[in-house]
Amino acid sequence: MKHQATLLAVASAVAGTLLAPHSKAVTYTDALTSPNSNDMNVMRSALTGSPQVSDQRNDPVTPYIAAGSQGNWGNGARFAAAYQTMAQSIANNAGVSEAYLAFDSQVTAFNEAKDVVLATMYDITDGPNHSANVYAQLYVGGNQVRSASRGGGVFNIPTGLTSVNQGIWTTGEYPIFTLGPVALYVTAALSGTASQVVQGRIWHDGTKATFTQSAAVTATAGVGVKALGASAGIKLQNLRLIQAGQTLNATAQFIPCNTVTVGESASLFLQELGGSIVAWASVPFAGSYESTIASWPGLTQTSTIVNAPPTTRAFSTPCFSVSTPPSI
């Protein structure tokens, strides 16, 4: 019954978009309203909160720079998004370095909150043990869908580690009622995409590399009618609940025995709630037709999470040799 009630709400909401006198206000809203309301549900920006930065590059044991940012919106709206991001570069006096980048998102779609995309990238280099590796993991809908690891070297061009394009939730065509040859139905779905890329040097003496990952969550919903082989309807098309691009330029490098360099810069691009409303029809032997009723770009912002230029300082680490890294 819960899903049936949700679907009925979606159907009435999509239909109500065209019935509402103020439907032109769609460019400022989530594009949905009830059939009996004159006003739309106004959405407010998710881009709230200031990045939290911790700079411990003068720490005598583990120099690091770390930063995080988060934002949320919604307050009971039909569609909403929340995110959390973290970036850090670390070195320690055992000759081990790590760079770490993470993005986590939760969306509300059709009044239900869902954990949708979690993306993490990191590397670990160990000078005394002559090892270097980079890792990437993707979770969609709470399930791990991609996991990758590669040995280190010099990644001369942006090198893809993982990518995914996956449905998160769908109803298919859900019938509302049938009267003779006429059937009324609704559809609703969520999908997620993500990718992870690395470029630069990841080797025994540390990290000097760029980590990039992107993720997007898209919703669609519609109400349609079928009769005698023909069909028509209205759909909320490709509503980008959240689209994010995240970049980390990380430095955590050793000159064995006496020196370390640590720094990072990280940025986040966010776009939310862009989409369109489309009317469509399909007639046997006559073809299919679509017409965009309204479209809107959504909310967009690029923010700097941290900008800490690399600094070099005396630092006692084990002495170790550094071979020539492979070119990848």
Domain edges within the chain: 47-314
State how far the Cα of 171 lies from the Cα of 110, in Å rounded to an integer: 12
Q: Is the pLDDT of residue 38 over 70?
A: no
Using an 8 Å Cβ cutoff, are 220 and 238 in contact? yes
> Whole-angstrom Cα distance, residue 2 to residue 210?
45
Residue 44, pLDDT score: 43
Residue 105: CB partners within 8 Å, gap ≥ 6? 81, 82, 83, 84, 116, 117, 118, 215, 217, 242, 244
Predicted local confidence at residue 151, as pLDDT:
97
What percentage of the chain exceeds 90 in pLDDT? 38
CB 210 within 8 A of CB 199: yes
pLDDT at 215 > cutoff 90: no
What global pTM score does this model have?
0.77
Burial code (b: 16+ CB inside 10 Å, e: under 16) for 65-101 equals bbbbbbbebbeebbbbbbbbbbbbbbbbbebbbbbbb
Q: Which residue has the higher pLDDT, 1 or 60?
A: 60
Residues in Cβ contact with 247 at an 8 Å cutoff, skipping those fewer than 6 apart? 210, 211, 212, 266, 267
Mean pLDDT for all residues in the chain: 77
Structure-model confidence comparison of residues 156 and 81, the more confident one: 156
Amino acid type, 135: Y
Question: For residue 104, is pLDDT > 80?
Answer: yes
Q: Which carries the bigger pLDDT value, residue 199 or residue 108?
A: 199
Residue 314, pLDDT above cutoff 50 = yes
Q: List, in sequence order, every beta strand (DSSP E) within the chain.
A: 52-55, 64-72, 80-91, 96-109, 112-126, 131-140, 143-151, 153-170, 174-179, 182-203, 206-227, 230-255, 259-272, 274-283, 287-296, 299-314
Residue 281 has pLDDT above 70, yes or no: yes
Q: Of 23-32, 110-119, 194-203, 263-272, which one has max mean pLDDT?
A: 194-203
pLDDT at residue 10 tops 50: no
Q: What's the pLDDT tens digit per position in 41-94?
A: 344 445 556 789 999 999 999 999 999 987 765 555 566 677 888 999 999 999
Paired residues of 101 in beta bridges: 87, 121
Please say if the pLDDT value at position 271 is more than 70. Answer: yes
Query: In this predicted model, what pLDDT tens digit does every residue of 166-192 receive, in sequence order?
Result: 777 777 666 655 666 667 766 777 788
What amino acid is encoded at 10 in this protein? Answer: V
Comparing 216 with 323, which gets the higher pLDDT? 323
Residue that is written with structure tokens 């070195």 in the block: 91
Beta pairing partners, 50: none
H/E element holding 28? none
From residue 322, how far is each of 58, 211, 258, 267 by CA, in Å?
Answer: 25, 23, 14, 31
pLDDT at residue 296 tops 90 = no
Higher-scoring residue by pLDDT: 251, 34? 251
Percent over 70 (pLDDT), the chain: 73
Q: What are phi and psi of 9, to 5 degrees?
A: -65, -40
Q: Using alpha carbons, list the distances in angstroms from residue 264 to 18, 101, 208, 313, 322.
A: 49, 11, 9, 15, 23
**pLDDT score for 73:** 55
Of the ranges 93-107, 210-224, 281-295, the best mean pLDDT one? 93-107
Stretch 270-293: mean pLDDT? 75
Contact 105, 117 (CB under 8 A): yes
Q: How far apart are CA 131 and CA 126, in angstroms?
A: 5
Instruction: Write the burial class of residue 178 (CB in 10 Å: 0-12 exposed, 13-18 middle, 19+ buried).
Output: exposed
Banded pLDDT at 5 (limits 50, 70, 90): very low
Beta carbons within 10 angstroms of residue 157's beta carbon: 7
More confident residue, 76 or 281: 281
